[in-house]
Structure 1
Amino acid sequence: MDVYTSIPKESKHSALIKEVRILFLNLYCGIQLLAFRRHAIDRITVSYDQFILLLGFYTLTALVVSYAATPNPVFDLSGLGYLGVKLLIALVVGYVFAKLTGDQSDLLRILVITYCVLPALYLISFALLAYLPVTVLVAGYVAFIAWALAVCFYIALQLLEWNKAKAALIAALWLGASYPLVNLSFSFWYEGYDEDNELAAYSTGALHEVNQEHVYYSQYRLLNNALDPIKPGITGVNDLFFIGFGSDSSQDVFMKEIEHVQRVMDERLGTSGRSVALINNLKTLDTTPLASSTNLRIALKHIGSKMNPDEDVALLYLTSHGSMDHELAVQMWPLDLNNIRPEDIRAYLDDADIRWRIILISACYSGGFIKALQNEYSLIFTAAAPDKASFGCSNENEYTYFGEALFKNLEDKPYQFVEHFIQAMERIRQRERYENLTPSEPQLFIGNLMKEKLKLLERDIVSSAAP
């Protein structure tokens, strides 16, 4: 009896080993297809078992690689949504393909071939594109998309008996259906951040000592103290004004960053007497206005009244946590404050009659602010692309990575905004590569009219700094 019962177990074990071997052979054939090896497609084994194994391998690849690339990873179910949409796209393409060939079994064939190729494409996008120099990043992505499209066309061409028109249709369908996923990252993890500062505040009872009514009613006095000393711009001079906004009290880095940046701006870029800081932190509740939406509107309105709208430039620096729906976190527990949207910032600047604007945003997903804020009079520099996280939000840090690249250890030479910002992008890229982080991909937009204004501003900053 023992002999007979052992046979099915051994058979199942052998069958599993065989399927795994076929899996890796299929993956190898997928790599060969990426290199346009003509006969690789004929060596791919098509079966339902292989489709499930390949789908699982692709999922596991994304799970492991995105985990390794994410600091302090926290599991994110949105990766399953991306996987599901990708599978749906493959099903649609496979359905159309089967209709073109008239063979329903070709649906399974195209699914298996697709998932033979996808793991290698995913690894290449993480391992190579993520570390391209900023100067060739766009060209690299364009080349990658063109290559992937060529592979798709080459596969379809072979499967459709070298019918170029039908192969082009399949390639175009795949590209069009996949386009909505271009700006989304396939990851099962997002970067978490510690809440040591907040927890420490709870443990010491500091949060319970916050008198909310006192904090709210003290804002009038604190704003007056901060805004009254603001000097007006000098006629005939392109003066620079600074507004710092550190709006998340859960970590000290945002408070410290605003304090450091304001000091650098005052000492090096001529904003002394024309700068104001708004901060959310337990340590500054009694000395500094809150970084709230209302206070930002009031501060910008006051500064706008001191500026010559034709000459002067306002530099707004915002640092906080950002969300995937492109809002800037505004937190000062136990107060209930509104988050900031890009539309709010634009409305406040417009209402303040501030025409010339340099807007720097140190937050995750901050590239999503650019579309709503951009115009010909603006420079916008964000710490991350619309779908990317930025780094450095640790309680013990003095700066975020973005702020450090921009303002720590400025060289003692005339300041040139665009050149300095491009150098900061490269420093961030190198640091993320060294620390094996998923690239944040900082975004820089410069309006056409702002390009000329920056030259005038840089000239007058140098003049004001001269003895």
Structure 2
Amino acid sequence: MTEADHAGRRSGQPLRTLARWCRQGLRAAVLMRPDWRGLRSGPGPLLLAVVVCEIVEAVISRAFIVGDASVDWRALPTQLAVAAVLAWACWFAVPPPPEYRDARRHPPDAPTLFTLFYVQGALLVAVLDGALVPAIRSGFLDQPAHRGLAWWFWMAPVFWSVAAMIRLMLGSRAAGLGRRWLACVVVAASSVGAAWLLPNQFWYASSPPTAFQDKRLRLTQETMELQPRLLASALDAIAPQRPGVVDLYAITFAPYASEDVFMRESALVADVMANRFDAQGRTLQLVNNRATETQLPWATPLNLQRAIERVAQRMDKQEDILFIHLTSHGGADGELAAAARPMTVASVTPQALRQWLDDAGIRNRVISISACFSGSWIAPLAGDDTLVMTAADADHTSYGCGSKSTLTFFGQAMYDEQLRHTWSFEEAHAASRKLIDQRERAAGKDDGYSNPQISVGPRIRERLKALEARLAASAAR
């Protein structure tokens, strides 16, 4: 062979090596055992694999965002922590030299195993996350009909990647099975944990990097000590009933901290009740949101129960009316979703709410539920002394509760528009149904009309007519 032939082979060697790495990385990505023969890594290939994987991930995360985006370098510690855990797991899974005696096993060394993890990761990110780009940029996952798919769209690539990592670790035949399984547990835990850390991506839809919005509550000592005082102060501030006057007491409950639309709707409804329905001093907001955690009590089931008990102590139970507005995501199982990470908050159910009202002895009730599938709340709460109105029936989603929404369609139509012109909840709800239908059609809601529901007991109707008459007479003066 001539010197030119040798030079040609040497010049093509890097491409063949790259092709071999990509071929075995692809096998690992589809849960097949790679062929470790000819794969030996060093500082150069290892660093290249890590850099390429991070570049691919950064490109895909940028493609998720429509419009302006900026880099947030606070994601770097998360990425470095995952790399450090993976490096330890590869070192742990590599056997001591005596275990290499069976040449047929062709076990990798630690740098080779680590490098193939990143080659596999780059391919998985490019294919699995890349497949999400059209769905995210088109707004497909923001549509109510597809909201149930969103979790699977985001987590399916994570689960597949973890499965591929476990398969690669077990199939490496490096250390004993026990050591490999322990390494798998550590790798899986770090990978899934990183998916929930914030920030975990370099790109965010914001102007300066400091505009990144972390929706998690800040459970500092100051906040934890302040919250009981906020609740006590809010409960103490509830004004007592006025003899001979039909008073309305109002509680708004917004337990989903991850989206600001519920905080805004809570504030809107509280304002309408206070100023339009003469409930100043008799209105209480319970909200989970980072922006209000030093101003308003948290929206937890226990706080809601305590608020109901305090209102019961201040109101005339035979004469006055308690209005409760709950706004969040809703499930087909009838639970009102709660999100207050890192704090764990239980969901509220209609059965629990009715029990709290019954235990407090509150007779006259107006309950408003702005959530998907909220029609399932009608039957458990309905009664002669109760008005229950919902943003949807039991089989359909409502609309306008996404991260880009200012108000839900129900909140906007019912409270921001109709109840500013009438004191009748029934009239406002009937008019809102028509508006919501028109707006959902115009917005392209494709899973059917949300079909807001209402149930009005005969005795609460009479109480509400007395309230309407008082408010109308007061406004005419």
Q: How does the TM-score come out when normalised to structure 2?
A: 0.55
Task: Summarize deviations over 1:253-296 as a string: whole Å, max 9, x none.
Answer: 00011111111211111111110000000111111100000000
Take 1:292 and 1:399, find their aligned partners in 2: how far apart are those partners? 22
Q: Report Cα offsets for 1:324-357 as digits up to 9, x if no partner.
A: 1110012111101111111111111112221100
Partner Cα distance (2:293, 2:141) in 1: 39
| Residue-by-residue CA offset, 1:296-338 (whole Å, 9 max, x unaligned) | 0001110111110111001100000111111001211110111
Q: Distance in 1 between matches of 2:210 and 2:301?
A: 25
2:247 & 2:334 partners in 1: Cα distance?
31
2:393 corresponding residue in structure 1: 385
Whether 2:457 is the aligned partner of 1:447: answer yes
The equivalent position to 2:328 in structure 1, one of 315, 320, 323, is: 320
Cα distance, 1:326–1:466 mapped onto 2, change above 3 Å: same
Bigger Rg over Cα: 2
Name the residue aligned to 1:409.
417
Match for 1:349: what amino acid? L
1:202/1:395 CA distance change after superposition, 3 Å: farther
1:345 counterpart SS class: helix
Q: Whole-Å Cα distance in 2 between the matches of residues 75 and 284 of structure 1?
A: 28
- Give per-residue Cα distances to partners, 1:115-160, cap 9 Å, x unaligned: xxxxxxxxxxxxxxxxxxxxxxxxxxxxxxxxxxxxxxxxxxxxxx
SS at match of 1:360: strand
Is residue 262 of structure 2 the alignment partner of residue 254 of structure 1? yes
Structure 1 position 76, deviation (Å): 5.4
The alignment status of 1:232 with 2:232, answered yes or no, reads no
Contact 1:247 1:280 in 2 (8 A): yes
CA gap 1:243/1:69 in 2 versus in 1, 3 angstroms:
closer
Alignment match, 2:367? 359
Match in the other structure for 1:336 = 344
- Mapped to 2, the partners of 1:219 and 1:273 lie a distance apart of 20
**Contact 1:359–1:379 (8 Å) recurs in 2:** yes
Gap change, CA 1:198 and 1:392, over 3 Å in 2: farther
Shift of 1:409: 3.4
Asked if structure 2 preserves the Cα contact closer than 8 Å seen for 1:377 and 1:450, the reply is yes
Equivalents in 1 of 2:241, 2:293: separation in Å? 30
Residue number among 245, 262, 274 corresponding to 2:253 in the alignment: 245
Q: Give how far 1:216 is off.
A: 4.0
- Asked whether the 8 Å contact 1:269–1:461 carries over to 2, the reply is yes
- The equivalent residue for 2:469 is 459
Aligned residue number for residue 426 of structure 1: 434
Which of 303, 310, 313 does residue 318 from structure 2 map onto?
310
Cα shift at 1:462: 2.2
Q: How far off its partner does 1:214 sit?
A: 4.5
Partner in structure 2 of residue 373 of structure 1: 381
Q: Give the whole-Å Cα distance in 2 for the aligned partners of 1:443 and 1:324.
A: 15
Flag the 1:458–1:449 CA change in 2: closer, same or farther, 3 A: same
Provide the C-alpha distance between the structure 2 equivalents of 1:73 and 1:334, rounded to a whole number of angstroms: 26
| Alpha-carbon contact 2:215-2:289 (below 8 Å) kept | no
Residue 221 of structure 1 corresponds to 229
**1:212–1:335: 8 Å Cα contact kept in structure 2?**
no
Deviation at 1:451, TM superposition (A): 1.8
Partners of 1:374 and 1:447 within 8 A in 2: yes
3-state DSSP of counterpart to 1:408: helix
Paired amino acid for 1:443: Q
Paired residues of 1:239 and 1:460 also in contact (CA < 8 A)? no
Distance 1:69 1:211 in 2: 30
Could you tell me which residue of structure 2 aligns to residue 400 of structure 1? 408
RMSD: 2.9
Question: Structure 1 270/209 Cα, relative in aligned 2: closer, same or farther at 3 Å?
Answer: closer
Local SS of the residue matching 2:417:
coil
Query: Cα deviation per residue 1:345-379 (whole Å; 9 max; x = unaligned)?
Result: 11111122211000000001111111111111000
Aligned residues: 283
CA apart distance, 1:73: 2.6
- Whether the aligned pair in 2 keeps the contact of 1:378 and 1:446 (CA below 8 Å) is yes
Cα distance between partner residues in 1 of 2:224 and 2:269:
26
Partners of 1:211 and 1:76 in 2: how far apart?
31
* Whole-Å separation in 1 of the counterparts to 2:352 and 2:419: 34
CA distance in 1, matches of 2:141, 2:226: 46
Structure 1 pair 458–304 and aligned structure 2 pair: CA distance change class (3 A): same
Structure 1 residues 318, 207: CA separation in 2 closer, same or farther (over 3 Å shift)? closer
Change in 2 beyond 3 A, CA 1:387/1:212:
farther
Write the distance in 1 (CA, Å) between the matches of 2:302 and 2:338.
11
State the secondary structure of the residue aligned to 1:276.
Answer: strand
Cα pair 1:207 1:334 within 8 Å, conserved = no
Q: Is the 8 A contact 2:215 2:257 kept in 1?
A: no
The code of the aligned residue for 2:375 comes to G
After TM superposition, the structure 1 = structure 2 runs for residues 62-211 of structure 1, keeping only pairs within 5 Å, are 71=144, 73=146, 204=212, 206=214, 210-211=218-219
Distance 1:203 1:339, change over 3 A: farther
CA–CA distance in structure 1, aligned partners of residues 141 and 286 of structure 2: 36
Shift in CA distance, 311/334, structure 1 to aligned 2, threshold 3 Å? same
Q: What SS does the aligned partner of 1:406 have?
A: helix
Contact 1:309-1:356 at 8 Å conserved across structures: yes
Which residue identity lines up with residue 400 of structure 2 in the other structure?
A: G
User: Aligned residue for 2:354?
Assistant: 346
AA partner of residue 348 (structure 1): W
Tell me, in whole angstroms, the C-alpha distance in 1 between the residues paired with 2:450 and 2:318.
35
Offset of residue 75 of structure 1: 7.0
Partners of 1:208 and 1:304 in 2: CA distance = 33
AA of the residue aligned to 2:279: T
Matched to 2:352, the amino acid is D
> How big is each residue's C-alpha offset from its partner over 1:150-209, in whole Å with a ceiling of 9 and x where there is no partner?
xxxxxxxxxxxxxxxxxxxxxxxxxxxxxxxxxxxxxxxxxxxxx9x9987999585678
- How far off its partner does 1:68 sit? 12
